[in-house]
Structure 1
Amino acid sequence: MTAADERPAPTDVPEALRAALVRFAADVLAAMEPRDVPAGLRAVQRFAPRRRAVAGAGPLWTQLGEDGFRAHVARAWSQAHPELAERLAAASGEASDEVRGTAAPDEVPDELGETAAPGGGDGDAAVEAGARRRGLAEDDPLTAATGAWLLHLGVWPELAAGLVAPGPVAPPTEPDRRHERLQAEADRLRAELGVARERERVAREELAGLQRELRRLRSDADRAREEARRAGLDAAAVHDEATAALAAAREERDVASADRAAAERERGAQRAEAKVAQQLAATRARLLLDTIVDAASGLRTELALPPVLDHPADLVAVAANQPGPVHEGSRGRSADDPTLLDELLRQPYAHLVVDGYNVTKTAWPRLTLDDQRRRLVDALAGMAARTGAEVTCCFDGQPGQGAVPQPRGVRVLFSVGEIADDLIRRLVRAEPPGRVVVVVTGDQAVARDVARDGARVLPSTTLLARLQRV
C-alpha cells in the first residue's frame, strides 16, 4: 500500500490545513448542482456564504472523509490549480486520477525540469524530488498541502509540517488580515474556477454524447429514407402490376361482352327460326286436320250417314250385362289432383260418370236425399257448361219412382231392378274404345271393374275439391 492509498486520520491534520480544506469544500459546495450534493450537505448548501464554512465545518469535514465528495472537491482543486497539481504529482512521484484528468500532455510546467535520462540513478531522482518539495513549501505551503491532502499524495505530511509555528504566534496585523482575506477570496475564486471547469468537462461530455446521438439519429433517418424509397419503389411496382391486371381484366370483359352479344344474336336467330318452324308445323297440322275433316265430311256424304241422335249411354238396356274389353287402370297424374279432372274433361267428347249417392253422402251427409241430389246435379250442370263434356249422374232408384228434372247438360239416371254400381259398369262398357270416360266413385269394387274396361277412375274427394273451386 502506498502513501497515496492511506486515508489521513482527522487528528493528524493541522488546524490550519483543516480550516483551508473546509473553506475550499464550502466554496465547491456552493457551486455544485443540487442533484450532486450529498444528503448530509444539502442543508449546509442553503447556508449564507459567510456562515457556510463556519456553521457547516463539521458536516463538511465529515463528507471530506467520503470518497465521492472528496473526489469532487479534488477535481475542482486540480482544475483551479493545474500547474500546482502537476508539480505535486511530480514531487511525490505519483499522479492521481484527478491530476490526470486536468493537465494536457503539452501543459507540463517548466518548473518540473527536464525528464530524467534513461541511465540516471535512483539517488539523483530522490535528490530532485526533495528539491521540488522544498520549492513547493517555499511557494504556498497551505495551498500545496491542501491539494496534496485532497489528491491523497504522499507529500502532504511534509508540506503540512511547515504550517506548524515553532514559537508563540504574534497577533495578526492589518496587512496579515488583509492578506488572509485576499487569500480566502483567491481560494474561493479558485474553487469556483475549478467547479466551472468541472461543469465545462461535464458539458463537453454531454455534448459528445449528444453528438453521438445526433449521428445515430441521422443514421436512422438515412436508413428510414432508404427504406421509404424502397417501399415507394415496391408500391410503384405493385401499382404497375395492378394496372396491368386491371387492363387485362377489362380486355377479358370486353371479349366476354362481345361473345355474349354474339351468343344473344345467335339465340335470337335460333328463336326466329324456331318460331318460323313452329308456325310452319302448325300450318301443316291445320291443313292436315282440315283435309281430314273435309275427307270425313265427304265420306259421310258419300255413305249417306245420318247425324248421331243417340249416345251409347242412351242405348244401354236395363238388363244388359255384357263384359267389355279389359284395359289397365288409371294412368297419368295423381288421382287426388283436381287439375287432373279438368285435364280429362278438356279432351274431345269426354264423358263424366258420377256415382251420385257416393259423392253426396261424402259431402253433405246431414241433408235429405232430395237436397243431396239437387245440390250435386246443380254443381254438375255448371261444370258441364264450362267444359262442354257429357255428364251422367247415377243414383239408386226404386220401382215406380217418377221422373226428376234434368238440368241442361246433365243426364240423371236411376237404377231400376239393380244397384247404381251395376248401372255405372254397363255405361262404361257401352262406350267405344278410345273415348275418354271418367268415373267418379269411392267404391273400390266399381273402380276396379270400370278401370278394367278402360275408364279413368277418380275418387269422390277429387270431384268435391274441384266443385269447391267454382
Structure 2
Amino acid sequence: MVVDAQVPASLRAELVAVAARTLAGYDPSAVPPSLRRVAAFAPAKRASAGAVPLWSALDDEHFRSRAARTWAGEHPDLAAALGAPARPHEPDDEPGDQPEHEPDDVPGDQPEHEPDREQDREPQGPPVAAPAPSLAAAAGAWLLGADWRALLPSTATAPHRTGPATPPDAAARARDELERVRAERDAALEELATLRKQARRLRSDADRARAEGRRALEQAAEELAQARAARDEAATALEVAGDERRAADAERTAARAELRVARKLADARVRLLLDTIVDAASGLRTELALPPASELPADLVAPAQEAAPARLGSRGRHVDDPGLLDELLRQPRAHLVVDGYNVTKTGYAELTLERQRRMLVDGLAGLATRTGAEVTCCFDGRPTPLAPGTLAHGVRVRFSVGEIADDLIRRLVQAEPTGRVVVVVTSDQEVARDVEARGAYVVPSATLVARLRHA
C-alpha cells in the first residue's frame, strides 16, 4: 500500500506516534536501515524528530504490519470492533521477534489470513458495530486497510466546527487525551530512566576524574619534593663552593702578604750588606793606608785582543747557522724552548701581536713535524684565545702569568734532567747566560727566523 498523501495532519501525527512506539519494540540489530538514525533519538523525541522517516516507513508492508500489531495491543477493544486478529500476520516475520506490547485480551480467535499484496487496494467498508469515530480508531483502520475516513472524527476534517460537542465526540476526545497523557507519561518515564543512567555514568566519570586528579596531585607533590631536594642539594654545593673560594682567596691574600714581607726582608738584607761592605771598605782603606794611585785606569788599558770565536756546534757549525738548529733538534728527545716575542719582534715586528703569535706557532708546528722534537713557545702576559687552527699539533704554548717570559724559560730549562738536549732560542744575553750555565744550547732569534723562512 502506498502511503496516502491525503491523510489529515492529525491522523498522520497519530500514525507517526504509533510507528515510533513500534520502533521501540525492534531489536537494535533488526532496525530498518532508514530508521537507524531515528532509533538513536530518545523515545519521547522520535515522533517529532523522526516524523518524516517514520511516515515513509509505513509504506513498507512489514513495518506497517508491526505497527498494526502495536496498535492492536494498545487498543484491543477497537481492534476487536474492526475485526482485526489478535496477532495480525506479518510477512517475513522472524521467530522470536515479539512486539514490546503483546495484546493478551483481544477477544475472539480468528483464523489468520494472507494480507493482500496489492499496493493500491480499495479500503474495506466499516464492519458491523463500527466503533465511535476517533483518531485511534481511524489510525487502526488505516493500518488494517479499512475505511479510515468513516472513523475520522469531524474535528480532524473540520477544525473550525462550532457548537456543543456530542457525547460520543467528547468521550473519544477524552480517550484520545488520556492516551496522549499516558504516552507522554511513558515517554517521560523512559527519558527519566535515560537521564538516571546518564547521571550514574557522569558520577562514575567524575569519580574516575577525581581519582586521576588525586594521582596527578600525588605525582606532582612527589616531583615537587624531588625538585626541592635537588634545589637544597644545589644550594649546599653552592655554599661549599663559596666557602672554598673564600678560603682560596684568603690563602692567596696571605701568600701575597708573605711575598711582600719576603721582598722587604730581602731589601733590608741587601741594604744592610751594602752598608757593611761600605763600612768595611772605609775601615780597610784607613787600616792599609794605601798611597795615592800613581796610575789611572786608562794608563793600564791593554791593546784590544781578538774576540774569542763563538761556540761551535757539531761538525764546526756556527750558532748562526740554521743547519746547527736542525742538527740539534734531530737529537733524541730534543726540547726546543722559544722566547716568543723575542723571535717575533725580530722577524715579524710589522704585524699585530696576534698575527705574530699565529705566524710563529704555525712555523714551529711544521718544524716539530719535520724534526720530531718537543717544542714549547713562551709569551709574556695572560692567555689569549688563538683563532681556530692556529694552535698546531705538537707545539706547547705557555703564557707567563705573574712573571716575565724570561723567568718562565729559566724554570723550564731548570726542570729538564741533566743530559737532555735543550735548545733555547733567544737574543736576550742575560737569559742566554743563565740557560747556558744549566747546560742548554742557545740559538739567536734571527737563526730561527731564517730557518722558518726557508722551510
Could you say which structure has the greater relative contact order, defined with CA pairs below 8 angstroms and 6 or more residues apart? Answer: 1
Q: Which has the higher helix share?
A: 1
TM surpasses 0.5: no
Q: TM-score, normalised by structure 1?
A: 0.38
TM norm structure 2? 0.39
Which one has a bigger Cα radius of gyration? 1
